[in-house]
Chains A and B, each alone.
Chain A
Amino acid sequence: MNALTISTAITTGRVELVNTRQRSLFTARFRVLWVVALFALIAIVALMRIAYIGVVQPGPAHTSMAEALLPPRGEITDRNGVPLARAFPAYALWFNPTALGDGGAPLVKTPAEVAAQLVQIFPDMDAKWLARRLASGKAGYLRRRVLPEEANRVQAIGELALEVPREADRHYPQGTMAAHVLGYVGADGHGRVGMEAVLDKQLLDPAQRGKPAMLSIDSRVQGALEDELRRGMLAVDAVGAAGLVLDVDTGEVMALASLPEFDPNKIDVAGEKNMFNRVTNQVYELGSTFKPLTMAAAIDAGVVTDLSRRYQSARPLEMGGFRIRDSHVMGPTLNVPEALIHSSNIVTAQVADELGGKALQRYMTDLGMHERPYIELPARGFPIWHKGDWPRLRTMTVSYGHGIAVTPLHLASAYATMVNGGIWRPATLYKVEPGHAAKGRRVFKASTSARMNQLMRMIAVYGTGKSADAPGFRVGGKTGSAEKPGVGGYRRSSLVSTFAAAFPMDRPRYVVIAMLDEPKGTAASSYQRTAAWNAAPIVGRLVPRIGPLLGVMPDENHDIDLTDLAPLVGGKKE
C-alpha cells in the first residue's frame, strides 16, 4: 500500500518532468525563430540605411591620389606663366563656444585676457571688439587666413574654444595687381567679379584644375600700366582712372586696370566699393577720341576724298537751338588733318553731316558700339546708344563723342580696328596661340586704315597728343576731354579726359587707352584739365616702359611716312 503510493507519486513526477521538458524545448525552439526575426529586422534596417546613405549622400564619391595632390582650386597665371592667383592652404580662427562641452563659460580665462593674447599674435585686430565677440558666446570666424606659426601660437593660448580649422584659401601674390581682371574667391569657395568667377567651374574641376588657367595679361605690362595710371591719377587728383593695353591683331588684353583698386587678398567694405570696373562696366561719353573714328568712316565711305579740302571753323554750328562750338577759334577754315590735330568739333560735325546719320550709325554698329563690349568678364556695361534713325544733331554730336556713351574697352577695340588694317575683333582675356586669333569682321578698308595711321601719328607729332610722343616709339593717338553729364546738362568743371593711342604707327601692334575721371587742374598738369595735359603724358611715360616688354624697340630711324600729309598742316610742329 505504502509502496504503491510512493510509486504513484514518483510516476506523476516523471510524467510532469517529461512534460516540462517537452514544453520547454518546444517553446525554446519556437522562440528561437523570434530571435532570428528580430536580428533580420535589425539587419534590414541597417541595409536600408546603407542604401539611403549611398543614394542620398552628397558628392565626394571618388577621391584619388592624383586629385589629392592637385590644388583645391586651380592657379591663374599671366601669359608668361607668372602666377596671379594660387591656392594657399591656410588656417582660420574659429570661435567655438561649446568646445569645452560642460555647458559653462566658453573660455577658461576671461574674454579680455584672451583678446589681449590674440592681439599679441594679430596686432591688427581690435582688442575691444575681440573681447566683446568672445563674451557674446556666438560661434563664428574671428579671422580668416591664419599662417601656420600664428595657428601654433593660438593653440599655445590653451583655449579649446579657439579652433584653427584648415582652409583652402586663395592667395594673390601680386597683391592688388590686376584685381579687376582676377576678382576674388568668396567665403563659399566660388569666384567673384573677375576671371575667378568666369573660370570658376574649370578651376574647381578635378580634371582641369591641375593645369593653370593662362590669361592674356602680361604681369609686367599690367604693373607698368597700373603704376603710370596711379601716378597720373594722383598728380591731377582724379577720382578714378582706367586704362588698357590691347593687341590690335589678336584682341588680347595685355593689361587692364581700373583705379582705385581693391585688394583681393583682403576684401573689406572699402574694397567692395572699388570692385566696379571702369574699363568694361562704366560707360562714358569719351569725347574727341571719337573724331578719328568719324573721319575714318567718312574716308572709308568716300565722303572725304580730298584731305586738303577746307571746312569752315570760325562759327559755331546752330542746330535746333543747340550750338556746336570749339574750345577756341582755330582759324576761319580747317582741313581734315588740321581738324584732328586741333580737335575741332565744328569741322568733325560738318564731315559727319555729309556722311549722314545712317552711314555713321552703320560704322559705329560695325565697331560694336551698340552692344556690351566683347570680353569674358561678367561685368560689361551697356552703351548709351540711340536706337532707330539718328537725327542730324545726334549724328553730329556722336561724331565728336557726345550723345553716345561707351566703355573704354569699346573705344580700344574700335581703335584697334582702325589701325590694324580694318578688322574688328572681340577683345579677350585668354591667351591666343599664334594663328588662332578670331577671324573678326572687316569694318574699314586697308587703305582707310593706312591713312588713319598717318593721321593718328600726325596728332601726336603736331597736335594735342605731343606729350604722348615717346621718342622712338612712333606713338599715334587722340585726346578726348568730355564734360560729364550732370543734373541739368553738362558740367563744365568735371571732365573725363582720355588718351587713346596706338604704337608703333608704322606697323601698329598695340592700342593703349588711358582715362582719368574728373581730373583737377594741378601744378603737375599746368593747371589744365584737358587730356593733353594729364592723360596723354601717362601714355607718353607708359609706352617706353612697355614697348620693349612687348617687342617694340625704340627706333629713331623708323617712322610712318607723313610726307604727303605734312604740307597740309604747314609741315611744322605747332
Chain B
Amino acid sequence: MKVEVIPWVLLLSMQLSLAAITATATVSNTAPSISNIWITETTGTPVSSLDPATEYYIIVNVTDSNSLKDIENITLTLYNNSLNSPDSTRYHYTFKFDNDTLSFSEIGPGNTHLITADCSYPTLTNVYGNYTFAIRLNETAIPSTWVLWVNVTDSAGNKVSKNVTFSVNEYISASLDDSSLTFSGSPGTNDVPASENPTVVTVKSNVNFSIQVKGSGDFVGSTDSSFTIPLSYLTFDDDSTPSESTETGLAEKSCDTVYQILYSNVGYGYNVAKNIYWFLDIPNGILAQEYTTTIYVGVFSA
C-alpha cells in the first residue's frame, strides 16, 4: 500500500510546484543613439554661425530603446581649442542635462551662458525625443570655427557621442558715458577742457579694436553762423594733460573730418575701458554764443 501512495504524493507535489513557476524576462540594456543635432535661432531657423551675446537653441535628438528614462545624462561641450581644455568664455563651454534631477546646468565657464528657463526635455517614457539647450555665448567668444560635441550616457554606462561644427561671428559693442561735450571759456583761451572729461569708452569685443575720433565739421555759432571755430581746434588725448613736455602716453591729436586713431589695436575683452580727454582752443575775435558740431567716436575691429 505504501508503494502505491508515493507516486500520488509525487504527482501532487509536482503539480503544486508547476503552479508556482513565474515567468521572468530579462531585458538587456541597449546603448542610446544621437539621431541629430540642430543649432537654431529662438525662432527655430537653423544656423551655422552664431553671434555672441545672442540666445540660440541646441537641439539634441536622442533615441534609447530602453526609453529616455534610461538616459543618465547629456553633456554638451562647445570648444574652439580641444575637447578636454578647461572652460573659458573665449574658447570652451560645458553644459549638462542630468536625468536624476531633471535639470540643466552650466558646468562652466560661469553661470550666465545657459538660459535654463528656456531649456526643455522630452517625455521620458518615449524612446526618442529632443533635448533643448538654450545657450548664449559670451561677447569675447573667439570668432572662428568651433566644435559642438554631444555626449549621451545611459544607466548602464553606455556612452555615445556626436559632433558638428559651427562658427562664431565677430562682435563689437561700445558704450560712452557721455552724450554731449561742453566747453566754456573766453576768447583766446587754449586747451579748455570739456566739463565731461574724461569720456569713458567701454568695449565688449571678441576681436582687437581701435578707438577713433572725427568731427562733422567746424563748430558753428548757433545764433550767428558766420562765426565758427575750426574743428582742428578740438583736440583729444588719453590723459588729462594735453601737451606734456615729455608725452607719457599717446600723443594729443587734432580733430578732423576723417577718423583719427587714438587707441590702436586694443586687445579684445569684456568691458575694456578707455578714456578720452577733450580740449578746445577758443580763438580770439569770435562772438559770445553757443557753437555746435557733432563729434563721432568710432570703435572698429583692428
Task: State yes or no: do A and B come from one complex.
Answer: no
Interface set of A (CB-CB < 8 Å, partner B):
none
